[in-house]
Amino acid sequence: MLTSLPFRLKGLFSHIWAPISAYAFLGLLAAVIAVALRDLIPSSWAFRIGADAIDGLLNIIASSMLAVTTFSVSIMVTAFAAASDTATPRAFLLLKTDRTAQRVLASFIGAFIFSLVGIISLKIGIYGEGGRVILFAATILVLVLIIFNLVRWIGHLTDFGRLGDTMKRVEDAAADAMSRRLETPWLGANPMHRDTPPEGTVPLRSDAVGHVQFINLGSLNTCAAEAGCNIYIDVLPGEFIYDGSVLAHVLNGPVGEDYDTLLGQIRDCFEIGMDRSFDQDPRFGMITLSEIASRALSPAVNDPGTAIDVVRRMTRVLSLWQDRSVADVEFPHLWIRGLQSDEMLRDAFAALSRDGAALYEVQVSVQNALLALVRLNPSIFAKGAVAQSGRAMSFARKAMLIADDIARLEAITQDIRATAALPAPGSPLTQT
């Protein structure tokens, strides 16, 4: 679970200018160190290295890095467009924050800045003989870094932005969000199993429109502890809210102006924006994978194989979900709902079942995936799997023409219903 500072730092360093600035600073620092340490180099070392030799290397680096950087930026833009066209525009968020692309591009720009500073410093003669030795050693290290990153970049470009690479990125992001959420199913708060908060609570309404990107539970619990109240959170990360939506319900606490101040502090703990984030939102990963499958099933693309691949990837992510009956409460003054498997399964399979209604190979993969999930853990997936299986069959009966295909799908649906009726081993039929 992310707290406020790591969440903000992660968002800050996900921008491409962060590694570029870091490498540019290192390039400037290397040039400055060469000036600062010039008097420590023995004169016997310096006479062998002339200014012309270093100047030639730096000129080569400066001219080549400018061209390589321009080429790399064009490749990245092309990859972004390809991912948006072949997969889904939501995948652009993952490509934009690709660490390899950011670091390689940043190293090229840092080397370019280093070479410019070195050329200028040599021309005005601030290095001296000792400084030239240090500058030469730094230049060799920069050349090694450039060669390493060029080889790395070439290997990375073979897959960067392609459909398979994009699907893997989305799957990894969804699996990571799911794993981190399963470590703290209720985000460290008390589990709220019922749909309505206790009587006597006061609703706290939103004054913004957008998706809940992040909930600062640490600050929220501190506010509740200081005010002597309990907070029942009504939204989860990823949900879309509008002006007037209920964010939370507050039980007890101060009255008058102090209470209005408390409500303002609580409202500030909810980060709201128009873009969804993968960090605390496993459902977003399911929706993004489902969009990739829906695009593959469109008449213009007609690629059921990709849709089947997406079904398998979603099944792999959902298979991470295991029942956890004991809450690890870190914030005792907060209550929150857990993830609901029926919502997750709806995000994953609802659109896919509709768009692939007439394709037996797609429908059978969906039904088999639902059957596998129910067999894996009936206590978690029974309700949602039965609902999505029945919905998919409703589409299939209307779209398919071959009775034998429908009969085979009906048989799998019956297996799902029969398996879902089994009691969960060692626990009641509850949702995490």
CA distances from 37 to 22, 28, 43, 140 (A): 22, 15, 13, 17
The answer to whether the beta carbons of residues 339 and 181 sit under 8 Å apart is yes
CA distances from 398 to 80, 388, 393 (A): 38, 16, 9
With b for 16 or more beta-carbon neighbours within 10 A and e for fewer, the 39-53 pattern comes to eebeeeebeebeeee
Which comes out higher in pLDDT, residue 10 or 323?
A: 323
User: 102-126, pLDDT tens digit by residue?
Assistant: 888 888 888 888 888 878 777 777 7
d(CA 219, CA 269): 7
User: 3-state DSSP call for residue 327?
Assistant: coil
pLDDT value for 382: 93
Q: Quick check: 128 pLDDT over 70?
A: no
Which comes out higher in pLDDT, residue 426 or 88?
A: 88
Q: Nearest-CA neighbor of 105 among 54, 57, 156? A: 156
Residue 384 half-sphere exposure toward CB, CA atoms < 13 A: 27
Mean of pLDDT values over 301-306 = 93
- How crowded is residue 250: how many other Cβ atoms within 10 Å of its Cβ? 22
Query: Residue 305: which pLDDT band, with cuts at 50, 70 and 90?
Result: very high
CA distances from 385 to 228, 376, 421 (A): 42, 12, 11
Mean of pLDDT values over 406-418 = 94
Residue 343 identity: E
Distance from the Cα of residue 375 to its chain's centroid: 29
User: 137-186, pLDDT tens digit by residue?
Assistant: 788 888 888 899 899 898 888 888 889 999 999 999 999 989 888 888 88
Q: Quick check: 431 pLDDT over 50?
A: no
Tokens of 428: 């009641």
d(CA 59, CA 150): 18
User: 279-294, pLDDT tens digit by residue?
Assistant: 778 899 999 999 999 9
The answer to whether the beta carbons of residues 274 and 148 sit under 8 Å apart is no
Instruction: Rounding to the nearest 10 degrees, give the CA dihedral for residues 265, 269, 275, 277.
Output: 180
Mean of pLDDT values over 336-355 = 92
pLDDT value for 394: 94
d(CA 4, CA 2): 7
Query: Residue 7: which pLDDT band, with cuts at 50, 70 and 90?
Result: low
Tokens of 319: 């298979």
